[in-house]
Structure 1
């Protein structure tokens, strides 16, 4: 009995440590290669002096390290980026650095110690305790590398790791073209770093140990790269009892020792355990498939707006003689994604768990242009996309395959992901381009090392394939990879390593969205008359369509110097800093609100344009759901740099009116007015028929006088749009007005508001003269925080007032007065009719004392204390 308990205790102790994994994310030092006259064997020796080396940021880039050591100015501010040396002019040695990390570790008994790099850009050699770790030079940004370092660890447990990292061999001339002169694409790295129309060049081209460095300890078995497939047949609803689903699991098992290891491979999911006896030969690495698991009454994973995002916890173990030799933990979303061609629209239709999903997406570049990724930032950015009522994010091909932490957030919030591989029409030769060094035929063959690309694709597919949110693969942005990459990708790699997701050859290919209109198959990108989104048919599943995105005054203050805070004027060249930060002109769209008096006035009027643009965009696409379109993906919803275009929130995570206009236009259940014919439309993205809906339409003049138009009951079927009634006659009576407000609402049987949409209409001449004359109001504002992290803000407008129009609520630190970022508002830029009130919920994290700033078009800026 004593022996039994001793064995049990030993087994428990090892189980607790069976999967020891930790990051080497602090305590790194670095030095430029020109300042070090020793080799890696010498530097990785504990006796080598590191005096005068500087603190390094790992994971991170060389530029991040230099910034954190105050050796360069912030490249995101003003024109500071011009003060930083570019690797194209300096030569690669300028950004070639040694990185050194001392750490404690040793192997006991059968323990195996693994050193894992999740991403190095671009070439590297690794040394540990005076010996070289990698037999061949590491090359390629998009590739994981793992090494068994058990035998290289020092006997006393004191170890030194030294890594030399070189920039890409060809860094490209940042000549102002898309991807500079295009040659950045000769290597397997981020193309945007040579500059694009939304970013200036990143001077070190993201050189560095840019992703996580991890130590993992196992026993004599290492299990890795699990593969999980879930099959959910039939057409499901989000609630109620479910028919069974099938789960298929396989895993790679490696035995790095010189002895055969026998045991049981098992995984546990939803209280069920599937086991398989296995025997792994010495130095063998093999993939093993489990028997299928039938999951009764499964809890399903749905895209945002359609149902819950349930995630099961799963454990995969290798057990031998009652000892867990290794264990992997993962989360599994049970769902099935299918694609069925829509003959009506001539585009691909997306189905999740058998239900047709109208795609409302946003294009994503990368979280931070200098690769400063955090779980919290990923979570906030993806949550903003959920808050916009979007259900998809497309990862653009000039950047990266996104990190598991990004996918964790998408799994959590229900955002489907459309993942491009590393190609773009600009760098890879789709068009004639005088800015490019090489001709189209040469660029068409980029990158130079095709075998490296195929190796990286295999590795990165394994890294992210288990995420429920990952929905589609795409060969590249606006162009396919070279044929000897595309065909293996299409016919071997994805069928073998995934087998469940469609691959679009490129982002606007005919197999995704058949182009009957001409042009390149995407866009337009500038400001458009809101009527055009409703009236003009475009590509039936548009991978890129968008508009502007200047933030408000507080955003501009963060990166534009005071002397450059000059309001852009129509038909005038903008200030140099605005131009450097890629400003797109708001042109004549500001003028109807009156010429901008200063930057504050411009920023406020820009928000009116922002809101109107993105609400109209998604309303227009939704109005032709299944008739013209199966979806739309906005270019673009976020910025990894302080650019002045294409963003629903700024680099600092401060939202602007684009976000709330898009949120409104993308509501799952939505009432809206066609600006072309004044027809009221009702949209239902849900799976069920909705009955007894009260549709209410009102109008207000600039004095606040109310005109009741109509109030009718109606119903709408699942996943459909319905035209209800025109407001033409009603609005015609107000033709002599200098603009009016229109309020549309859906109420349920309990008179609760299900959708609330508020338009402002110009006068006959297209100008908002009434808005320019509207009287100021001072609504009563109360802010209460009953639960920490959640503030309820109520705006009450007196009965005889005009509309309190377009109010921005901003949560601030009560001491510093600075905005708390990120903060999440369930509505913003809100208008309150006379005699009504609106309550907005604001969520944030932190322990600081909070207050609010509220200001609007005709509401003076006011600070409100939170009770």
Structure 2
């Protein structure tokens, strides 16, 4: 007998192998490569024959999965880019050519062997639009109909796998049952809403129709391998009682964990369901009968001194890693595990009787909501983690704290919510209704009357099944704050009542549910009504002087990008600036607008560019539009903040982004290039901010923080158009938490200085260490309302230096000579020196900024290093009175 003692090295390796085996089997991978597709009319084989790996497939084209039929056609150069010019009109619309035209087979060959013992292999679909039949290795997988855009499906394919590991998956995807007539109405003729799916695909006032109505395997397809016991849809609830602070020792929080377990074996299995959080292990013994599926609740965890999740600008959005697993008693391997990120927080809402609107609190602290309305990341459903991250980061950088997901689109993907979790953005999630399609208003463009539309969709049970499934998909995200029955209308009663009273309390009883987005429960004016809007450009003074809905779910404005943005999707012959021609007899704005601009849903700037002087060309128009954009969105948020807790508890801008090349309501374009609206909104939304009321000339300070701010110094300077400084005052201010305070009126001084040519006004806040907390720079019109002094400002030069901090991180210093003029409204950009195209997305700590004489400003720039690798990168700058310059960046 060999009695040799193993070496220390051998023991170490054996220990590693044992630990590895505990977690070696539960795994998944995505089927996102190797797909091919073909129109079903061109396929003679049945699904059983087509999915037989021995069948020869020829003449098929590469498919995009996740993706849609239209995306695949675009990637195969069968259609022109529908986001450019009028190309969308060159693509056949499904309403005209019929559903067969966009009905396609998708096929994928993949390798996966038959597992041994109790091990199981699962096929997951996270989204197919709209219905499908699934075949694997000559067998039909879905024995029941698979229908509905939002339904996730999970199939056990263990017994269907090929013995040699060479498998073929074939899926035929059918378009929505009702495709709708894209007749120019909101959602076309409205019948698109007879499905449980996207409504915007039939066209809206910000988008043209998506020709295939987004038919396809539009979301992820994954293969998951587990043991006999699999974990399905874990549910994490965090309770944070009391009013909390963002720092210091915290009182305990309560963590409640439950999940569904499924036993795929034909014998009972016992084991431990367990999770680890912050070094603590919580476990529950479980026995499941053969083929049993059961929900299991684990013991509550009292977590001492927890790190809490806070919205952006209030505290850190801290995320704990949590590993949830099931370990059978008789096995050395983990049967299944889920890796989760958990944010510990509690969200409350209250009715504020003073404002007559909903008030939101996180961890017991009230939050003034500054939000943006979101449609969808890409109108053709080309989603990616990278794009989600960039878009949510832009919203964080705008100093917003909430994103509302509009009801004509979808329940956003987990990757969207993961980004919101990281960046600290609350989410207001609509379900799939809209006042336009679902009958709130009479509309001659709609096919059916209001009573008929009020009962859309056709399949109410499918709506409820889809809602329940989507709730399970997103409910663990700390960013998810509210559910909403629909956009501007409630669902029908037989959907609303079970959703509100049964499904949500059972699946997620921790969030507030509002029946529709501008409900009486959300907001009421002084006589009890509710609403939203307006949606067009306004005089800045109206944001300060005119009271609107006390929690406005949609209020918006313009959003044209600069010249570089416009050239990306406007054909050269259509690069023509709109021309304001005055007002008609009814007082409505008249503009001459190019047809491609109209197609891309341009919303007019009207008379608001005229005060900057006559526009000479498209570049001049776009540059002046940026001045308007900046002022519009800064003024909007300042006006709401000035009446915080008196008139308002929050507002949500309509809208902050576009999923296609639209010319309205956006802070950055489809290509992720920001316009000046982003930086104006960033300024107006600062958590600690000094601001100027253009109506009464008062300077106010708003403090959104939970803490008092003592010994803040307000510094006010005015400047004439030659850059001469006129110090007005330096005064200490003391701010209560979450409050706004009027400090002083400077109307007389400013009106006098600005009366002839206009003037500049700078408001700064300093702390006790004389560190700059807020810097707000206004340009003000002359006595006649014109910016006459801007038209003949003397040119100015800036000394610009760039220093690389780390790969993709740069510090840019802009220095102005003390004897020069103000360098006004400078636009920085990172550019590929070979193509002369901007590198996108790039993030700037500030942009469209001004530098006064004798001043240095530092701007931090961030870009994914992969976007600059191998490129000669230059930093360009151009201002209102600063000629374009380029600085080569040395890596």
Asked if the contact 1:701–1:737 (Cα under 8 Å) also holds between the matched residues in 2, the reply is no
- The CA RMSD over aligned residues, in Å, is 1.5
Match of 2:877 among 847, 854, 857: 854
Asked if the contact 1:420–1:476 (Cα under 8 Å) also holds between the matched residues in 2, the reply is yes
Match of 2:502 among 476, 488, 492: 492
- Structure 2: how far apart are the matches of 1:815 and 1:664? 34
Q: Does 1:632 align with 2:651?
A: yes
Match of 1:585 among 604, 628, 636: 604
1:155-196 Cα deviation digits (max 9, x unpaired) = 111100000000011100000000000000001110000000
Q: In the alignment, which residue of structure 1 is the partner of 2:317?
A: 309
Asked if the contact 2:523–2:530 (Cα under 8 Å) also holds between the matched residues in 1, the reply is no
- CA displacement at 1:620 relative to structure 2: 0.3
- Structure 1: how far apart are the matches of 2:46 and 2:592? 53
Asked if the contact 2:24–2:334 (Cα under 8 Å) also holds between the matched residues in 1, the reply is no
Asked if the contact 1:480–1:505 (Cα under 8 Å) also holds between the matched residues in 2, the reply is yes
Q: In the alignment, which residue of structure 2 is the partner of 1:173?
A: 181
Q: Does 1:425 align with 2:448?
A: no
Q: In the alignment, which residue of structure 1 is the partner of 2:272?
A: 264
Q: Does 1:30 align with 2:40?
A: no
Asked if the contact 2:754–2:781 (Cα under 8 Å) also holds between the matched residues in 1, the reply is no
Asked if the contact 1:221–1:326 (Cα under 8 Å) also holds between the matched residues in 2, the reply is yes
Q: In the alignment, which residue of structure 2 is the partner of 1:529?
A: 539
Instruction: Return the TM-score normalized by structure 2.
Output: 0.96
Q: In the alignment, which residue of structure 2 is the partner of 1:61?
A: 68
1:745-770 Cα deviation digits (max 9, x unpaired) = 00112211100000000001001111
- Structure 1: how far apart are the matches of 2:163 and 2:552? 60
- Structure 2: how far apart are the matches of 1:334 and 1:503? 20
Q: In the alignment, which residue of structure 2 is the partner of 1:97?
A: 104
Asked if the contact 2:132–2:172 (Cα under 8 Å) also holds between the matched residues in 1, the reply is yes
Asked if the contact 2:520–2:530 (Cα under 8 Å) also holds between the matched residues in 1, the reply is no
Asked if the contact 2:591–2:604 (Cα under 8 Å) also holds between the matched residues in 1, the reply is no
Asked if the contact 2:751–2:783 (Cα under 8 Å) also holds between the matched residues in 1, the reply is no
- CA displacement at 1:9 relative to structure 2: 7.5
- Structure 2: how far apart are the matches of 1:786 and 1:353? 36
Match of 2:91 among 72, 84, 87: 84
- Structure 2: how far apart are the matches of 1:443 and 1:589? 39
- Structure 2: how far apart are the matches of 1:655 and 1:488? 42
- Correspondence 1:596-615 to 2 at 5 A: 596-615=615-634
Q: In the alignment, which residue of structure 1 is the partner of 2:297?
A: 289
SS of the residue corresponding to residue 567 of structure 1 reads coil
- CA displacement at 1:545 relative to structure 2: 0.4
Q: In the alignment, which residue of structure 1 is the partner of 2:578?
A: 568
1:776-821 Cα deviation digits (max 9, x unpaired) = 1111111111321111111111112221111000111233221110
Q: In the alignment, which residue of structure 2 is the partner of 1:48?
A: 55
Asked if the contact 1:18–1:327 (Cα under 8 Å) also holds between the matched residues in 2, the reply is no
Judge which range, 456-465 or 773-782, deviates more: 773-782
- Structure 2: how far apart are the matches of 1:515 and 1:170? 38
Match of 2:158 among 130, 150, 154: 150
- Structure 1: how far apart are the matches of 2:527 and 2:181? 35
Asked if the contact 1:517–1:539 (Cα under 8 Å) also holds between the matched residues in 2, the reply is no
Q: In the alignment, which residue of structure 2 is the partner of 1:472?
A: 482
Q: In the alignment, which residue of structure 2 is the partner of 1:594?
A: 613
SS of the residue corresponding to residue 524 of structure 2 reads coil
Asked if the contact 1:265–1:276 (Cα under 8 Å) also holds between the matched residues in 2, the reply is yes
Q: In the alignment, which residue of structure 1 is the partner of 2:524?
A: 514
Change (3 A) 1:9 1:678: closer
Unmatched 5+ residue regions in structure 1?
none
- CA displacement at 1:849 relative to structure 2: 3.5
- Structure 2: how far apart are the matches of 1:57 and 1:301? 37
- CA displacement at 1:323 relative to structure 2: 2.6
- CA displacement at 1:431 relative to structure 2: 0.2
1:122-160 Cα deviation digits (max 9, x unpaired) = 010000000100012211001100100001111111100
1:432-465 Cα deviation digits (max 9, x unpaired) = 0000000000000000000111111111000000
1:230-285 Cα deviation digits (max 9, x unpaired) = 00111111111111000000010000111111111111111111111110001111
SS of the residue corresponding to residue 416 of structure 2 reads helix
- Structure 2: how far apart are the matches of 1:264 and 1:133? 31
- Structure 1: how far apart are the matches of 2:830 and 2:237? 43
1:829-860 Cα deviation digits (max 9, x unpaired) = 00111111211111001223421110011111
- Structure 1: how far apart are the matches of 2:355 and 2:623? 38
SS of the residue corresponding to residue 115 of structure 1 reads strand
1:66-89 Cα deviation digits (max 9, x unpaired) = 000000000000000000000000
Q: In the alignment, which residue of structure 2 is the partner of 1:161?
A: 169
Q: In the alignment, which residue of structure 2 is the partner of 1:226?
A: 234
Asked if the contact 1:347–1:541 (Cα under 8 Å) also holds between the matched residues in 2, the reply is yes
- CA displacement at 1:519 relative to structure 2: 7.2
Match of 1:446 among 452, 456, 464: 456
Q: In the alignment, which residue of structure 2 is the partner of 1:797?
A: 816
Judge which range, 471-480 or 506-515, deviates more: 506-515
- CA displacement at 1:573 relative to structure 2: 2.9
Change (3 A) 1:823 1:735: closer
Asked if the contact 1:224–1:328 (Cα under 8 Å) also holds between the matched residues in 2, the reply is no
- Structure 2: how far apart are the matches of 1:326 and 1:779? 60
Asked if the contact 1:253–1:288 (Cα under 8 Å) also holds between the matched residues in 2, the reply is yes
Asked if the contact 1:122–1:208 (Cα under 8 Å) also holds between the matched residues in 2, the reply is yes
Q: In the alignment, which residue of structure 1 is the partner of 2:260?
A: 252
SS of the residue corresponding to residue 559 of structure 1 reads coil
Q: In the alignment, which residue of structure 2 is the partner of 1:235?
A: 243
- Structure 2: how far apart are the matches of 1:629 and 1:310? 29
- Structure 2: how far apart are the matches of 1:515 and 1:254? 51
SS of the residue corresponding to residue 525 of structure 1 reads coil
Q: Does 1:382 align with 2:382?
A: no
- Structure 2: how far apart are the matches of 1:810 and 1:735? 32
- Structure 2: how far apart are the matches of 1:222 and 1:216? 10
- Structure 1: how far apart are the matches of 2:833 and 2:110? 42
- CA displacement at 1:15 relative to structure 2: 2.7
SS of the residue corresponding to residue 523 of structure 2 reads coil
- Correspondence 1:421-820 to 2 at 5 A: 421-516=431-526, 521-570=531-580, 571-820=590-839
The count of aligned residue pairs is 867
- Structure 2: how far apart are the matches of 1:140 and 1:761? 54
- Structure 1: how far apart are the matches of 2:20 and 2:821? 71
- Structure 2: how far apart are the matches of 1:836 and 1:7? 65
- Structure 1: how far apart are the matches of 2:468 and 2:592? 48
Q: Does 1:194 align with 2:205?
A: no
Instruction: Return the TM-score normalized by structure 1.
Output: 0.99
